[in-house]
Structure 1
């Protein structure tokens, strides 16, 4: 049985009715992501999918020769959405290279800023951008029968969110007019204010440095943060209930919808929020402090935790070229032959990568994207795994749940779930939410996890602000550790950008950057077919999925395809930067597509 047949079912197949359809650029995101498909309308499935990017990544080229202390400020500009995640991760890598540890207060301030960013970004993406694919206006055009059923279906969690029917929720999702859409914009403003209290400026921090922070740890800074946090908890609780109701309804209304966006469970999480009592940034102890993170790093293969050791995760990273527009570098001299523990480092590891762009015409039978193909080499199977992040939250929750290591004040992992406790808020009582490991890694479960992780981030923010206030009362307000840049060193930072895994690999020679490679979630999720022919996660999730939209080829909107791609929270700036040769004007005519304002 082929992959397509297994996704579409085993019923009698009709003669193919193939239509080439493209969405380029995908809307509601930053950057030129193109999805090119062959759709078999007779059998209602996507027969083929290619994910492309028409932009060139350049940061790894011009970082060479820079003062390493500038790396956080420079790499922040990779993205206008998750720049602070890059700064944080760069500082982690530098702290390893410099052999320093920030004071506890500095770590808590960094954690508070990152928690606010997760709440801000996931809220604005989920409620203002992704939910437009499930709103009344969209469903009316693509699946009117589903909307009719939604009008007659009571909302199971109405006592929490106040919506009587599923259709009422869909109306609340309508862009610019819906109540949830408008409330999410207000929440995004408040959570951005929380972020700025800690990191100074959104989204390129002005107060984060290797060695600590420049934020003054005054009591009012933390009480102002806490006041805003408590003020958004009603919305956080309602969002989880709204999400559960809508996504559960889609499973019921469209039998087989679990196949939309489903791919093999291959999830990667690099961990988030350091525990200052354990983390010392030494590579030799990276396994210990990695497991102490408040989001547990891990690689999940077929639903089971393969490893949560950051040393194993680091050494398994491979950058494959495959279908991307670059020359190979494996014949060059390596920058790093062994890690600080003596383990050999592969030539395709980020420490040893050299970026040599090779512009050429796009060819779906050959090279067709500026995004490279990061893979994780699994020694157990001998395979180069095309890990995805599922947009970030599903991988974080899955890894944390299975590891069973988090036992924080308001968050606990049980081995099969994550329990999140939120205190009483203005209109809603104290609640304990539980995200349970799902049966599938698919479009709907990626979206569901996002709302639960907003609650997770809010719960962790409660703990961090309480701990910061305790340090203030104890007079432990130091926020910086001094250091000197060594002549030679290597470092690696592991963090979670909003939409998934983020690593920065640094090599210092003569006190300057000799090599630097940031790997955010975009190349992991949006990679093209690699040198083994393995499709990237966007391609794999779309290719073979069934089509439930009621429109035919002449009015086809591709809503199921868009839901799948957008379930990963795609964002191209982290993968690439514009390259148009000698200044040619780039134009593209594409299929009809829905979109609100761009993500950014």
Structure 2
């Protein structure tokens, strides 16, 4: 399969560039404070510059000060109306460490079941009802009619597994509100929310989740209600995975060079998910060991190599940079923590020592232009702009390379993750395998999201079995009492739906003295840092080729949108486009020049 689109020129092939400013602000289909500002070379079909901005200031780190630590999870849950339970869970992990409490095993299995349901819910509704629209028939017809014509005549390799005869039939099923699969996915999202509520009382702000465990009354009937819904989801995934494989593989074949869309250096971070209560005691001194027992392995991948799986090293490597952010630096202000509980030195730019000093000002893309700070990870030499791959890409990549997970339903092999889905009402058992891809790009971020839905379902089967073992043995306690210490330093690590999530807390005189939650969006949406290093959105968009068939006057920026959305940005809905009143910038520059204001 081939495309008639011209091959984008390399920078060295450019002469006189006619650059057009094109901006999308706000962007995505969730909350409304993310803007993408680009300069596009239509002659050479390339995005040559990108800036990611956020126009909203939240300030949670400021008003958490002085609060009772026991309220932290209820407050931080409200950071987000989509993944609030991830924040609540992470906060409880940090509190467990601060209070020195280990929840009963059953309580931890219930938390895992709740988090698994959240992954299934959120990935499903984002992938099928938000990201899927970018690949639906109506969108492809408007942006790449040649690709749609090819899709009409391309048989789907896995037709027998998902029921769609051609790739175009898959695209039609994704049409919003009218597509068969689009509507089916909406129904599935309802049942997954019910699964979460069974475990933690309310979605998205859990009402039965506490430090020390949960208030859920665990019964066999409760688990049966959860498993009934889970098995329907398992059956759904047997259709979804091969369908998306067919769709994404088609784009590679239909548009040679499409692997360059959203491609960036492989710099992936995962903080791990799903505790194993047999090993996890939430003590910092044991964090390396129990971190490696998580059912999603924490780790940092640099250029395809697994640098570490040590949560202590991961923690100490976190740096919060400013650069292009609307804040004053905190150099010279109080250091809350100079050494971690193991005696390791803690950097001034670590979240434990961060001060939030907002400095509102006019947006200047050559200087300060975003409320998002720039989290980086220090590997001993460089401050790396890690991304989360939208969450699933990093999770699967680190877990696959580490090879530590083997629970029957899931096995990490060193190069892949194998997922076994058991027999369901209408379909027999199915074996799936996610293999480490060649690229960290737009399509692979989306593909990983599909596979991680199956991963979460398979993990939930294991957690439900372990919970039932506890109930049948009469070990039904789900919460352990604790006392709040006068002084404590703690941290919590997990994976929000979109990727890495950490909460760092300092307690003094029984109150919160410092508290900093870092969800995945600051890592992904960060602006240029103090060294001029662009954030992952910016890096993935700028330099990517344009495959859209529309001319400049009718350009929709579909590949830019696909790239940003592949990271699953938790920043909102309602996309508007601004063309700078049609202003054209005629710029003459050499192949080595950049357009970053240097």
Cα deviation code 1:152-185 (max 9, x no counterpart): 0000011110000000000000000101100000
State the alpha-carbon separation in 2 of the partners of residues 76 and 31 from structure 1: 19
Q: CA deviation at 1:16?
A: 1.6
Match of 1:128 in 2: 129
Match of 2:594 in 1: none
Cα deviation code 1:69-98 (max 9, x no counterpart): 000000000000000000000000010011
**Per the alignment, do residues 427 and 588 of structure 1 end up closer, same or farther by CA in structure 2, a change over 3 Å counting?**
closer
Match of 1:70 in 2: 71
Match of 2:578 in 1: 590
Structure 1 contact 14–43 (Cα < 8 Å) conserved: no
State the alpha-carbon separation in 1 of the partners of residues 106 and 379 from structure 2: 38
The 5 Å alignment of 1:15-94 reads 15-94=16-95
Match of 2:210 in 1: 209
Q: Which runs of 5+ in 1 are unaligned?
A: 1-5, 574-586, 593-600
* Number of residue pairs the alignment of both structures matches: 572
Match of 1:269 in 2: 270
The 5 Å alignment of 1:181-196 reads 181-196=182-197
Q: CA deviation at 1:552?
A: 1.0
Structure 1 contact 8–545 (Cα < 8 Å) conserved: no
Match of 1:373 in 2: 374
Structure 2 contact 270–297 (Cα < 8 Å) conserved: yes
Q: CA deviation at 1:57?
A: 2.5
Q: CA deviation at 1:31?
A: 3.1
Match of 1:447 in 2: 446
Q: CA deviation at 1:231?
A: 1.3
Match of 2:251 in 1: 250
The 5 Å alignment of 1:422-437 reads 422-437=421-436
Q: CA deviation at 1:192?
A: 0.4
What RMSD, in angstroms, separates the aligned Cα atoms of the two structures?
Answer: 1.4
Structure 1 contact 14–42 (Cα < 8 Å) conserved: no
State the alpha-carbon separation in 1 of the partners of residues 8 and 222 from structure 2: 52
Cα deviation code 1:459-488 (max 9, x no counterpart): 000001111111111001101111100000
Cα deviation code 1:527-578 (max 9, x no counterpart): 00000000000000000000000011100000000000000000138xxxxx
Match of 2:175 in 1: 174
State the alpha-carbon separation in 1 of the partners of residues 107 and 403 from structure 2: 27
Instruction: Verify: 1:158 aligned to 2:159, yes or no.
Output: yes
**Per the alignment, do residues 165 and 42 of structure 1 end up closer, same or farther by CA in structure 2, a change over 3 Å counting?**
same
Cα deviation code 1:254-292 (max 9, x no counterpart): 000000000000000000000000000000000000000
Structure 1 counterpart SS, 2:17: coil
Structure 2 counterpart SS, 1:495: strand
Cα deviation code 1:565-599 (max 9, x no counterpart): 000000138xxxxxxxxxxxxx987359xxxxxxx
Structure 2 contact 17–41 (Cα < 8 Å) conserved: yes
Match of 2:583 in 1: none
The 5 Å alignment of 1:239-388 reads 239-379=240-380, 382-388=381-387
Structure 1 counterpart SS, 2:259: helix
Match of 1:545 in 2: 544
Q: CA deviation at 1:426?
A: 2.4
Structure 1 contact 296–405 (Cα < 8 Å) conserved: yes
State the alpha-carbon separation in 2 of the partners of residues 206 and 8 from structure 1: 55
**Per the alignment, do residues 591 and 209 of structure 1 end up closer, same or farther by CA in structure 2, a change over 3 Å counting?**
farther
Match of 1:598 in 2: none
Match of 2:223 in 1: 222
Structure 2 contact 28–569 (Cα < 8 Å) conserved: no
Q: Which moved more, 1:6-15 or 1:282-291?
A: 6-15
Runs of 4+ in 1 over 6 A off after TM superposition: none
Structure 2 contact 28–571 (Cα < 8 Å) conserved: no
Structure 2 counterpart SS, 1:205: coil
**Per the alignment, do residues 74 and 509 of structure 1 end up closer, same or farther by CA in structure 2, a change over 3 Å counting?**
same
Q: Which moved more, 1:132-141 or 1:226-235?
A: 226-235
Structure 1 contact 15–42 (Cα < 8 Å) conserved: no
Cα deviation code 1:88-117 (max 9, x no counterpart): 000000100111100000000000000000
State the alpha-carbon separation in 1 of the partners of residues 281 and 9 from structure 2: 50
Match of 1:237 in 2: 238
Match of 1:578 in 2: none
Q: Which runs of 5+ in 2 are unaligned?
A: 1-6, 581-598
State the alpha-carbon separation in 1 of the partners of residues 18 and 11 from structure 2: 18
